[in-house]
Chains A and B, each alone.
Chain A
């Protein structure tokens, strides 16, 4: 699989996929998409990068270990559930903060944080699996 063509285009493809995955994540609440599917796209991008350029490179590019990203995702999803407790509403109730910015409506919310958590959990876990399987050395 390690052809020159693949190795040359793979970083570009991976970057595109990662940007696209964030786009899919953010549009998810109103258009097809969301954290889960975004996470799968992101993980595929990382897997492609890992196949083309080696696991060592991919791990270096990710800075932290992918399983840390997964743990972080579950953590912030749980945190987004706890935040509403401070507004004296039950666990995981959605809180919304909608405002105008240069004429466009921006909506921030705890479900968005939750969805980002889902995204991170999926990216982290799936890329852990993929990169672990791709590597044949000890730096998984």
Chain B
């Protein structure tokens, strides 16, 4: 008897995070074998998930999870149906080879352990994303994928280009995540349901709701940002700054597919409307063509692959938007085929880089004998990418063409878009598989050599899988296409793919046109490339420039606002703050006419009077003291007296805290004075003193009046009673203040200590910056702040 399904299903997404914690140690102890050892984690997840293939094929939906924030109905809940299972298998399955590959690719890198940790965390985030049932759990993992991919893209953080790419992808996908959150919240509010399984049963209702359009647009925009649809596509090619295993993983199986997953998942809930159809097909179509064209333009193999990924994502979005049975089946098939061949080709690109020292396709040539295993893998993957028969890519293309042929004019237009897009991507695939390997051997920066087994295991296995899958169409129909297609289409799809080259089938002729066009492009590759380059140079503007313009505009406007509001004159800030406070205290009471009458003072004992007297004496000393240090200490005296008053009125915890806060304030204020080299004396002129004193009196009397007003109201003591009654029996503590802090309101405290820590960090940073900028010997006054003050005085 293993753990319950609730725990084990949650572990699928948590286990990679635990493994990530251990990864650096595993690396240290196993050395070059670390990749093989760590691959056990994704492999066991894959096997665990594979166990669900049978039940899911029989339309079973597995649910499980742990409660998280029950008060809001938010649960750490997961479910497995056809769609999430397919994604889970792809992520964990390809993850196995990526981890092994990373072991070889980054062998000897000083931060390889850290790299393993990042990539495992990324894997866990992706698994959580596709298995999540609750919308907010999904969102959590969605953001985690943005953060972990930021870490991965910026892994080589000493290079400026990598840092820029990382932060660009974080801005785009993280911003998309926020838009998505807004969409989810609206969706949850309008349906009263925040689990996907619940939403799937309400399908049909959402489309008629008046909020449908905003919800649909928000969610689709979030998905577009993640899946690099035009005009938010520019981060994807830049993300190629990451080490190759990351590119292979992010751009084949995962990250970018998260948006596609979400659209597929939302298809039964939001799909089926004209808006959905046109938004998805138009953006998808444009992305497909632009991605294909830009891919052909590149010479760096990784960049070529990155742009075809963008095209493939456009293709998938188009098909999901199209939404017919055949289109969905085509999308599912293409999704699998693409994950396999793109993962393989990226690793081939990495191997070429590793084996020769360059990735420029115009430089490479004749490597078929020097790197024969890589060559075979590249050819097999390219066959699937080109959609030649028996490869998975062939069936994908047949099915998507089948969805379009025989329809009215928009269908034929989409068919044309698909044919051109597929031909462009095929051309890139064929070029990568042939150009570097055929022809005469060209000189390269390094002497070409075949790579280690860790490096060719992945591409070979993935490429072979993409090819032989076509031999098992019967199994695929029942175990893969029916459950996945059914989950997207929300109804049976009865997949029936089989290998048949029937000349009466118009889809086959569309494929033939694609191959012909693709072959033409390969033949004239150099001419097409230079033509596209000229076109690009003629336009002279890219979305990447647009991003830079946007960011610098944002910084300029923030700068303008900051300079207006944040002028650096502390006394003005304080004045504004305290005048606002006084107004906030007095105005409501004056407007509503509820100024309280002077209360009767309770008789005080002599020692209570004594404490008050000390406080007042402290205050008078503050006013009379000549030096600032004396004023600070005198203020401390007043604070201590107040602490004594707290003690006398039965609040020892408060008194205690007040004592410590006073002590530390005096110490820190005194230190700040010496640190900032403030003048020992206060140089304010008389009118300034009068002004500041008046404001201080107004605020102080405002607080007094407010407190009197509060005491005049009957306090609602139900919470106090509750705490008093339950503190000892339930929370095992007699000190209610502490029990509130660590138990009843622990989440508030958690927030507060985070703020305390952040404040410490901020002060540390500020002083360090000051030190490094100024480098002034302590005896001489610093240049900024205090200088201005002196100049004024």
Q: Which residues of A contact B (CB under 8 A)?
A: 24, 28-37, 40-41, 43-44, 47, 51, 66-67, 70-71, 73-74, 77-78, 81, 85, 88-92, 94, 96, 98, 107, 109, 111-112, 114-115, 117-118, 121-122, 124-126, 128-130, 132-134, 136, 138, 140
Contact = CB atoms under 8 A, between A and B. Distances in A.
Interface string B729-763: 00111110111011100110110011011011101
Contact of B756 (A41, A111, A122, A136): A122
Given A30-B733, A47-B664, A114 B746 contact: yes
Contacts of B70: 90
Interface in B61-100: 66-70, 76
A129 B657 contact: no
Contacts of B738: 28-29, 33-34, 115
B660 interface: yes
A30, A32, A130, A134 interface centre (most CB from chain B within 10 Å): A32
Given A77-B750, A96-B732, A109-B732, A67 B667 contact: no
B671 interface: yes
B384 to A, nearest CB: 43
B764 A132 contact: yes
Interface string B431-450: 00000000000000000000
B675 A125 contact: no
A125 B760 contact: yes
A130 B667 contact: yes
B661 interface: yes
A130 B742 contact: no
Interface in B391-447: none
B757 A130 contact: no
A70 B757 contact: yes
Contacts of A109: 732
B778 A136 contact: yes
A88 B70 CA distance: 11
Interface of B: 6, 66-70, 76, 652-653, 656-657, 660-661, 663-664, 667-668, 671-672, 675, 731-735, 737-739, 741-743, 746-747, 749-750, 753-754, 756-757, 759-761, 763-764, 767-768, 771, 778
Contacts of B66: 85, 88
Contacts of B768: 140
B753 A37 contact: no
B743 A94 contact: yes
A90 B68 contact: yes
- Max count, chain B CB within 10 A of own CB: residue among A35, A73, A91: A91
Nearest to A112: B742
22 contacts: A28-B735, A29-B733, A31-B735, A34-B741, A40-B664, A47-B664, A47-B667, A67-B764, A71-B757, A81-B750, A88-B66, A96-B732, A109-B732, A111-B731, A111-B733, A111-B743, A115-B742, A121-B754, A122-B756, A125-B756, A133-B671, A138-B771
A130 B671 contact: yes
B750 A92 contact: yes
Given A70-B756, A111-B743, A140-B768, A133 B778 contact: no
Contacts of B747: 81, 91-92
A140 B73 CA distance: 46
A81 B661 CA distance: 27
B442 to A, nearest CB: 53
Q: Which of A85, A126, A133 gathers most chain B CB within 10 Å?
A: A133
- Interface SS of B by simple majority: helix
A124 to B, nearest CB: 7
Given A85-B66, A121-B753, A130-B667, A140 B764 contact: yes
B672 A133 contact: yes
- Minimum-distance CB pairs A-B, first 8: A125-B760, A40-B660, A133-B671, A29-B733, A121-B753, A34-B738, A32-B652, A128-B760
A69 B756 CA distance: 12
A134 B671 CA distance: 6
Contacts of B6: 88
A44 B663 contact: yes
B11 to A, nearest CB: 11
A74 B732 contact: no
Nearest to A80: B746
A100 to B, nearest CB: 15
- Determine which residue in B664, B760, B771 has the highest number of CB atoms from chain A within 10 A of its CB, and name it: B760
A51 B66 CA distance: 50
Contacts of B660: 37, 40-41, 44
B745 to A, nearest CB: 10
A61 B747 CA distance: 32
A85 to B, nearest CB: 6
Quick one: which of B660, B668, B763 has the most chain A CB within 10 A?
Answer: B660
A125 B661 contact: no
A21 B236 CA distance: 53
Contact of B68 (A24, A43, A91, A124): A91
B753 A140 contact: no
Contacts of B737: 32, 34
B664 A32 contact: no
Contacts of A88: 6, 66-67
A74 B757 contact: yes
Contacts of A34: 653, 735, 737-738, 741-742
With most chain A CB atoms within 10 A of its CB, the pick from B6, B67, B749 is: B749
Contact of B67 (A28, A47, A90): A90
B741 A90 contact: no
A107 to B, nearest CB: 6
Q: Which of B671, B672, B757, B767 has the most CB of A within 10 A?
A: B757
Q: Which of B652, B737, B741, B768 is packed against the most chain A CB atoms within 10 Å?
A: B741
A85 B699 CA distance: 46
A25 to B, nearest CB: 10
B738 to A, nearest CB: 4
Given A77-B750, A78-B750, A124 B664 contact: no
Given A37-B657, A70-B757, A44 B667 contact: yes
B465 to A, nearest CB: 37
Question: Max chain B CB contacts within 10 Å: which of A122, A125, A126?
Answer: A125
Contact of A125 (B656, B672, B743, B757): B757
A15 B438 CA distance: 76
Given A29-B734, A115-B738, 18 more contacts: A24-B656, A28-B735, A29-B738, A29-B739, A30-B733, A30-B734, A34-B741, A70-B756, A70-B760, A74-B753, A74-B754, A74-B757, A85-B66, A94-B732, A111-B731, A111-B739, A122-B753, A133-B671
